[in-house]
Amino acid sequence: MFTIAKTEAARGIWSAFKEPLTAPARGMVMVDVIAAGICGTDYHIYSWDSWSAGRIKTPMTIGHEFVGRISAIGEGVTGYEIGDRVSAECHISCGECHYCRTGNAHICEKTSILGVDRPGAFAEQVEVPASNLWRVPEAIPDKHAAVFDPVGNAMHMVSTAKVTAKNVLVVGGGAIGLFAAAIAKAHGARTVALQEPNQARAAIARSLDLDLVVNPRDPDCAAQILNLTDGHGPEVVLEVSGNAVALNAALDIAAPGATFALLGIPSGPVELDLGAKVVMKGVSLLGITGRRMYETWYQVEAFMLKNPDLMEKVITHVLPATDFQHGFELMDEGACGKIVLDFQQIDQRLPI
């Protein structure tokens, strides 16, 4: 089967053909992948930054955002049938630790992640625990269903930060930032501003009818945000850029008592003045990881069913899976929103 894998400890990503997977183990299911999204985490792995170099063991089939149909069912699995269309929570928790047993499986001590710690979904087949499956309504198109995972990241962040009736600033206009801005609007934010230096992504943000889209490199960026918020600054900041300069600037402009949700992964340590920017301003910092299992998935399903037009605006490219290199190049250039890879048509003559 065709796979997209990190085969070398260096910048880049490669394809390979591997033997089809064997029958799924007990409690597991085999899913034939229809479509899969390229995540920011996949881009970190492609770039081979310090985080990915310290986490990924090569070779590793990457990818964790996907939709597909069940093709085989392991022993002990109930409630599913061959042909069911499913997505899956990529964080595989132990189900036994303190956090799992108290409804916080998204921060399980023993989490393993598809496409990071175990073979992922950038392949024609992927094996996942049945307990992680999410049956997808047929009303949701494949290209939307393929990105439940990142929309879930955005949903988790927005829901946790409680944006209703608040002035919200989204820092970073990548796919998750765009989804977060759209969800914040849908959740009744008073105003939503988004800052993004890349003009292609800024154009996508403008299509979402936000209250302000601003370039953080503009000298009057802070003034525009203050003007929108009646001089107070944003009461909620959704940080998805992972950029240290942007993070510090957002803390400077945030309103006293603001909620600051952090989802972006910095490429290295970040220095900030905790006393002046957090403690004395009474700012609440929230670290956001993954999705709440499975509350967030219900929320995302409802959002996708009610807002297909917003999904269409953020998903800018659907590429054949064999054209994955072009997808990563588009991300290099910042010339895209969300990219989805189509695994339905694989040329079996491609070289190994």
Q: In which residue ranges of the chain is CATH 3.90.180.10 found?
A: 2-149+291-342
Region of residue 294 (left: phi > 0; alpha: psi -120 to 50; beta: else): alpha
Q: Which residues, including other chains, have CB under 8 Å from residue 324's CB and lie 6 or more apart?
A: 4, 13, 15, 38, 122, 341
Instruction: Convert the pLDDT of each residue in 284-336 to its tens digit.
Output: 999 999 999 999 999 999 999 999 999 999 999 999 999 999 999 999 998 89
Instruction: Convert the pLDDT of each residue in 88-103 to its tens digit.
Output: 999 999 999 999 999 9
Nearest alpha carbon to residue 30 among 106, 84, 109, 99: 84
Q: Please report the sign of the dihedral spanned by the C-alpha atoms of residue 162, residue 155, residue 119, residue 268.
A: negative
CA-CA distance, 167 to 201, in Å (whole number)?
21
Instruction: Convert the pLDDT of each residue in 234-262 to its tens digit.
Output: 999 999 999 999 999 999 999 999 999 99
Q: How many CB atoms lie within 10 A of CB 165?
A: 10
Q: Which residues, including other chains, have CB under 8 Å from residue 240's CB and lie 6 or more apart?
A: 154, 157, 170, 171, 172, 174, 176, 177, 180, 263, 264
Residues taking part in catalysis: 41, 44
Residue 34's H or E segment, with its range, is: strand 28-37
Tokens of 251: 């803390």
Instruction: Convert the pLDDT of each residue in 160-215 to its tens digit.
Output: 999 999 999 999 999 999 999 999 999 999 999 999 999 999 999 999 999 999 99
**Domain 2-149+291-342 superfamily per CATH:** Medium-chain alcohol dehydrogenases, catalytic domain (3.90.180.10)
**What average pLDDT does range 66-86 have in this prediction?**
97
Q: Is 231 helix (H, G, I), strand (E, B) or coil?
A: coil
Tokens of 20: 């089809």
- pLDDT at 269 (0 to 100): 87
Identify the band that residue 352 occupies on the pLDDT scale cut at 50, 70 and 90.
Answer: very low
CA-CA distance, 160 to 192, in Å (whole number)?
16
Helices (H), 187-219: 199-207
Q: In which residue ranges of the chain is CATH 3.40.50.720 found?
A: 151-287
Nearest alpha carbon to residue 314 among 177, 158, 171: 177
Terminal C-alpha separation, the chain: 10
pLDDT exceeding 70 applies to what percent of the chain? 98
CA separation, residue 197 to residues 43, 200, 236, 291, 332 (Å): 19, 9, 20, 27, 14
pTM of the model: 0.93
Nearest alpha carbon to residue 58 among 3, 18, 116: 116
Q: What fold does the segment set 151-287 form as a domain?
A: Rossmann fold (3.40.50)
